[in-house]
Every structure is written in C-alpha cells, then in structure tokens.
Structure 1
Amino acid sequence: MIPQQGIEEEALGWFVRLQDADACAADWDAFSAWIAASPDHARAYDRLERLWVDLDEAAPQSVRIVRPANDNGLGRRRLWAAMATVAAAAVIGMVGWPMYQARDQHFTTTTEPRRIELADGSVIRLNRRSDLTVKLTSGARRVSLNDGEAAFDVAHDAARPFTVAAGDSSLQVLGTAFNVINHDHRFSVGVSRGVVAVRPAGRATPVRLTVGQQIERDARGAVSLSRVDPRQISAWQDGVLLYRDSPLSQVGADLSRYLGKSVKVSASAQELHFTGALRLGDETTMLNQLQAFAPIAVQRTASEVRLTARGER
C-alpha cells in the first residue's frame, strides 16, 4: 500500500500533467485508471484541486504561486507544502473575500432560447425547449444538461475544469467553446474552439475532441466520430440549422426538439440524407422548407409529424 504522502505526490503529478496543453487522450486514459484504482486517489486529487482554487481565488496577486510547467526545480513534496502554507495564510487573511455559493441554479426554456452568464465569466446559450442545472463552488464548476441543447463558451481556469453531465455521458474542459445535445437518448458534442474530453455513456475512457470534431451517440447506443464545419456546430444561435449529408433521422430528431412534438421518419426515408439550411421558425415554416429541399412528404397531426419518402404509399 502506498503511504498517504506518496499518493498526494502522485496526485500532484497528475494535476500538473493534465493542465499541460499537450495532454493527450492516453494521458486522460491513464489518469482515469489511476483514479479508479483507489478511493484514496480520488480524495487526494479532489483535495489538491480545492487547495489550488483556494490559492488562485483567495490569495492577493503578491502571494500567487506559479505552477511549474514540469517537475524540475521545486520538487513535488516542496510544492505541496508551499501550497498548503500559502493556502492557510490566504484563508486566515482573506476571510471576507466572496466565494461561490454551493447551490444549484436551474434554467429552462420553452419557445425562445436564453443567454446565461455565469459568475466565473462563462456564457451558456440554452436552446429552445431545454433544461439545465448549474452549480459553481470554490472547488468545481458543474453543469447538468437535463434535456435539450446548449452552446458553451467557457472561461479558462486551469485549476478548475468545467464539467457537463448529459444523461449517462459527460465531458470536461478548461476553457473552450462547444455545443451539447442531450435529447431522446441522443447525445452529441461538437467543438468550435479549444479541446474537450468527452466520455459517452458505455465508454470507460474519454475521447479527446479538438476544433471541428464531433462525437455522437444515437438512440441505439452507437457512437461515431466525425469532422464538421465549426460554423455548423452552433449555427442555431444565428437562427438557422445547417446540414451536410446528414441522415434524415438526425434532421427529424432536431425538429422534434424545436417543434415540441414527435417527428417520426418512415423506414423508406431513413435512407435519405439532407444537405441544406433550415431557417428556424414555426412548425409550418420549418416543415415547408424541408419539404421544398428534400424528396419527402410530410404528414401532420396535433401530436406528431411523419416524414416519408416522396411517392411512398
């Protein structure tokens, strides 16, 4: 069994390693394995993360500690001791400094999107018919996209990664811009700036996405990775949905969120792909646009929309 001091030194090593911009998917995989190996590992890493945040937020500029880019010079044990010493002094001397409140903030939308500015400087744009919960504390930034779609522009904070839970899937970032969908068993993440570590449901290790990459998990649980135009990822913020050779089933899933009713795609239409732009609007406007640019027929009732291949009986 590794002594507690040794575990803390290992935790510090991982902390420094993962803040490096060159940290790769293999690093995240190895870190995940280290965390899973023992509850003591997770507790040591959490303590270190909270300690660093206390230093960075509570201490005045004159006593900031600069994290080393590598392990040369100041050894891990000395750095840990220095952090603990300064953190204690900062807490004693800066009791009156404001800190984040550990309480949930709940946001919902219906027919209009909403712009949400967080206390850390991050901005969330919550799409129509979406539900989201935010919790910011001095040691963590956590968001849960309970349903719908949201675009994130996250303020950089190397000491406090920003995590998003979407059903059984999750992702973690430091400072970047990305879009997340969590609706009707479908999960999708597209990156328009920076790097995101995504862990789709059913995968033990995260997948590292960079600009122009998108990962999707469909209702059947199939996971796919693709390249997309970064402008397409969050085009909905400009009032348009962009598609390039996208399955009609994906278009139907998007429409179901915007229209607030089930959009079903017939077996014959499942094989169709769509390239084009749909201007956001009411149900009639959006369905008329789709029917004008795709070889489909639209059948509508009060509770659902059915898309079939043109000529299908």
Structure 2
Amino acid sequence: MSAASSEIDRQAAEWAAKSDHGQVPAADELAFRRWLAADARHKGAFMKALAVQIHLEKMGKAHPELAPAVTARPKSATRFVMIGAIAASLIVAMYAGLFRLSLENHHYSTTLGHMEVVALSDGSAMTLNSGSKAEIQYALLSRDVTLAKGEALFDVAKNKLRPFRVAARNAHVRAVGTSFSVKNVAGSPIEVLVREGVVAIETHDSSGNHTLQAPANRKVIITDNGAVTMTSASTAEVTNALAWREGYIFLSRRTLAEAAAEFSRYSPITITMADPAVSNRVVSGLFKANDPVGFAKATAEAFHLSFDQKGNTVLLSAQRNKADK
C-alpha cells in the first residue's frame, strides 16, 4: 500500500469514527464534503472504513463476549486502521458489492420554457423549473442533490438513515422528510422556501460554518458572502412563489426590470427598457410565464407606455408628447 493510500485510509477511518453510520455531525459536514470532493478515492475509502465499522458493531451484537473489543469506537484513528485492516480483507469484498449497487448518479436538466417532474428511486420527487440543471447522487447512507442552476421543488420521502441534502453554491440544505424549494439563479442570492417540515441550512462565511433550522412557512436568503436572512411566508405566499409549477409567474410589487428578468427565465423573448423611470415602475399580479409579449402589452396599456417589438426583443418606453414628435 502506498504512503498516499495509507494516508487516505487513515483520514477515512477518522471520518468513519466521527460519523453515526455515515452521518457526520452537522458542525463537520462542510469539511467532510470538501474532503470527499478533494480526491476521487476519498469516497471509496470512506465507504470501506464505514463498512468495517458497521461489521465490527454487528459482530459485537452477535457475540457479546467480544463486545468490549469490537463495539467500542477507537480513540485513535491509527488503532481503528489497525483493527480494520485485520477484518477488511474478509469483509470489504462483500460490502463493496453492496455499496456499488446502492450508488446512483443521474443528471437532469430542463430547457427554456419547460419543466420536469422526476420520480426518484427512494420515493421522493423533484420538480425542475425552466432552465434548471441538477445532479442526483444516492448512496446507501445518503441522498445528495447538486442544483447547479435554476430552481427545484423537493418533496422528500422520510428516511432518517439517509438524510436528503441539496447543495447550491455556498448553501447546503439538509432534510429527512419535508417539502422545500431551492432557487439558484445567476446574479441573485440563493433562496430556500420551506413548504412543509423542517430543514437545516448550512452556510460558510469568513467566521466559519453555520447551521440554521428553518421550519415550514419560512423563506431563507443566502448571499454569496454567506449572509443569511430568514423571514416568514404565509401559506398563500408559499403557493404564489411556487406558481411556476402551473406555468405562471406571481409578481408582488416588483419593478418592471425585475419582472423582465423573471420572464427571461422562461422565454427567449426579452423585455427591455431604456428609461429608468419606466424600469422602476412597480407591478403585481399573476401572469403566464411563457407569454412575455402579453405581459408587456398589458403593462404598456396600464402605464401608458409605448410598445415596440423587433424579433425577440420587446422595448417599453415612455410615450412622447405630441409637441416632441
């Protein structure tokens, strides 16, 4: 065994000793995920170390006379590696097949203007909004999702032994059985909306790692520098925020510039405004997500604006006085 492999096994043994059947303490989870991502060999080493640990615990239960020797967690990772090495040659092959069968890795994406409901193998469901991309990684003791971009609603099947985790930029959302959405749109902070149950949101800033518990009817905003804000959201507000599942956009006192950015997530047609006096106008209402032209025409009529469309670009501008023409 090379020195590098030996060091990886030592680190894996330390993480296995810290974990509770694969679930590391919340305070260590970000560091653990970074360790896993640092080297492709780390995940396999951790799985093998965890398999040894679980097997030793089962041996202790089956043979009580051996319990003091095999069930107590070693104080030293080096001692754990030595004990594990003796058992590893006998049990790693058996467990390796089990862990391989339990691993899943799938990629899902939606194009502009399309949504998709994905039935996951554990009974959970993921609803992807327009222009979204997600990766699913399921293992025996974990259910991990990476939301690379866009927005998704997660209806999570309960399984305390396999926590469901969603990563989006610098935020990690952990749940057991609940319903929540995560929004990861370029140029905007991460948004987490809890519809049912409770989620733990883990973030990192210059002062370290932080965990926030967010119950149902809460909206959490996480900026790129790690600042977190949690506000209440009524059942009606949660329903309106998820109107995209039915093909609608709900706007509540949003500027025309913000409304235009929202419509651009669903259609190649862009709404532009050259005049700040126009772009700062405030709008509210429920609109078809795939009809930016209809929205722009209705807005032009309501605010007495000029409407001009050339190809996929719509221009809203202040109407000129007759004396200016």
Smaller-chain TM-score bracket: 0.5 to 0.7
User: Is 2:132 aligned against 1:130?
Assistant: yes
1-structure distance, mates of 2:120, 2:308: 42
User: Is 2:116 aligned against 1:114?
Assistant: yes
For the Cα contact (< 8 Å) 1:245–1:274, is it kept in 2?
A: yes
1:209 matched residue in structure 2: 214
2:65 matched residue in structure 1: none
Give deviations 1:48-88, integer Å, cap 9, x for gaps. 9x959x98xxxxxxxxx9xxxxxxxxx9x95879xx99xx9
Structure 1: gaps of 5 or more residues? 19-27, 56-64, 66-74
Q: How is 1:1-313 mapped onto 2 (pairs within 5 angstroms)?
A: 11-12=19-20, 28=26, 30=27, 99-186=101-188, 187-199=190-202, 202=205, 204-217=209-222, 224-228=229-233, 229-260=237-268, 263=271, 267-268=276-277, 271-291=280-300, 300-302=309-311, 304-305=313-314
* Displacement after TM superposition at 1:123 (Å): 0.7
**Does the residue aligned with 2:192 lie in a helix, a strand or coil?**
strand
1-structure distance, mates of 2:182, 2:214: 13
For the Cα contact (< 8 Å) 1:192–1:233, is it kept in 2?
A: no
Query: What is the TM-score when the length of structure 2 is the normalising length?
Result: 0.61
Query: What is the TM-score when the length of structure 1 is the normalising length?
Result: 0.63
- Which range moved further: 258-267 or 125-134? 258-267
2-structure distance, mates of 1:269, 1:181: 27
Give the length in aligned residue pairs: 273
Give the residue type in structure 1 aligned to 2:102. Answer: Y
* Displacement after TM superposition at 1:122 (Å): 1.0
Q: Which has the larger radius of gyration?
A: 2
More helix by share: 2
Q: In structure 2, do the counterparts of structure 1 residues 284 and 173 end up closer, same or farther at CA, with 3 Å as the change threshold?
A: same
**Does the residue aligned with 1:254 lie in a helix, a strand or coil?**
helix
For the Cα contact (< 8 Å) 2:163–2:174, is it kept in 1?
A: yes
**Does the residue aligned with 2:101 lie in a helix, a strand or coil?**
coil
Q: In structure 2, do the counterparts of structure 1 residues 308 and 147 end up closer, same or farther at CA, with 3 Å as the change threshold?
A: farther
For the Cα contact (< 8 Å) 1:291–1:298, is it kept in 2?
A: yes
For the Cα contact (< 8 Å) 1:280–1:286, is it kept in 2?
A: no
* Displacement after TM superposition at 1:105 (Å): 2.8
Q: What's the RMSD between the two structures over aligned residues?
A: 4.9
Give the residue type in structure 1 aligned to 2:126. Answer: I
For the Cα contact (< 8 Å) 1:179–1:190, is it kept in 2?
A: yes
For the Cα contact (< 8 Å) 1:108–1:130, is it kept in 2?
A: yes
Structure 2: gaps of 5 or more residues? 1-10, 37-41, 55-60, 62-67, 75-83
* Displacement after TM superposition at 1:192 (Å): 0.7
- Which range moved further: 254-263 or 287-296? 287-296
* Displacement after TM superposition at 1:246 (Å): 3.9
**Does the residue aligned with 2:112 lie in a helix, a strand or coil?**
coil
2-structure distance, mates of 1:252, 1:222: 26
* Displacement after TM superposition at 1:299 (Å): 5.5
